[in-house]
Amino acid sequence: IAGPLGSALSTRFGARPVAMAGGFLSGLGLFLGAFATHMTHLYLSVGLLAGLGWALVFTPSLGTVGRYFPARRALATGLVVSGASVSGLALGPLVPLLLETYGWRGALLLLAAISFNLVAAGALLRPMPIPGESPGPPKDRAGLVRLLRHGPFLRYALAFVLVDAGYYVPFVHGEARAHEVGCDEHRAGLVMAAMAAVDGGGRVAAGWLAGRPATPLLRHLFTWVVLTGLTLFLLPLGTSFGGLLALALAYGFCAGALVPLQFAGVAEVVGAGRLVHAIGLMQMFESFGSLLGPPFAG
């Protein structure tokens, strides 16, 4: 929901200081959460403070990358967002180990230490002269308001509200589904790890394929969205370990493939000059689908 705030602040102050501030807030939220004595404290620290920090990191970073590489935007975005899959694979087995060894407070402290590294990562967003753009912060202060009256963008964003309503369901409920069809802890974990691994591969592959000039980027995106919907529709047919694993692999690859094209496609809809604003607004719209989908499916 804080996506538009991240885009507005990065427009005013630049991506580097906003991303660095976001990295500090994300680490601070996890650090304070380690001292919580009530659930409300966790809502405020891990939920509100760390969540705000991640929004201030994600929107400026992704918007900056999209503006730096206009000719190979899809591939650059695919490489950037594949990091989420890498961290998911790493933290999947690491977090249970931290919980078992240090308890939830110690685990949050260690995760806070990892998150504070976002400050250094944000410092790497060097201001660079971009062809076709005037130096200094963009002068368009009304970009967010104008986008709210931009029909093609609104239809694009609302479409991804529907996409996100289903996108996270297998990642949230996949392990429980694996147990339901008779998988033990090891096999259930294997299904989830395999889905996360091919998700990252799909992000890079789709970005590379979209760089081929033969087909417009939005047609690539449309194809991957259709394939993601079909594989999601077929997932309930996986009633054994082998069947569920095969469908999870297909879903992970297709779902991963649409992520970089989604953000690269924003520039096709609104133009590169309003990319940061558009990504922030689209995140806000998408969050409603992301929040409603998994509970509704459960």
Assigned domain for 116 exists: yes
Assigned domain for 133 exists: no
Say what the pLDDT of residue 131 is.
57
Say what the pLDDT of residue 196 is.
87
pLDDT digits (tens, 9 = 90+) for 125-161: 987 765 555 555 555 556 788 898 899 999 999 999 9
- Six-digit token pair at 94? 């690491």
* CATH code assigned at 273: 1.20.1250.20
Assigned domain for 229 exists: yes
Q: Please state the rounded mean pLDDT for residues 204-224.
A: 87
pLDDT digits (tens, 9 = 90+) for 30-81: 999 999 999 999 999 999 999 999 999 998 898 888 888 888 888 888 888 8
Assigned domain for 126 exists: no
- Count of structural domains within the chain: 1
Assigned domain for 249 exists: yes
Assigned domain for 180 exists: yes
C-alpha 24/C-alpha 53 separation (Å) is 7
Burial of 193 per CB tally in 10 Å (0-12, 13-18, 19+):
middle
Is the distance from CB of 132 to CB of 254 less than 8 angstroms? no
Q: Which domain holds residue 163?
A: 2-121+144-297
pLDDT digits (tens, 9 = 90+) for 215-230: 888 999 999 999 999 9
Assigned domain for 282 exists: yes
Say what the pLDDT of residue 113 is.
96
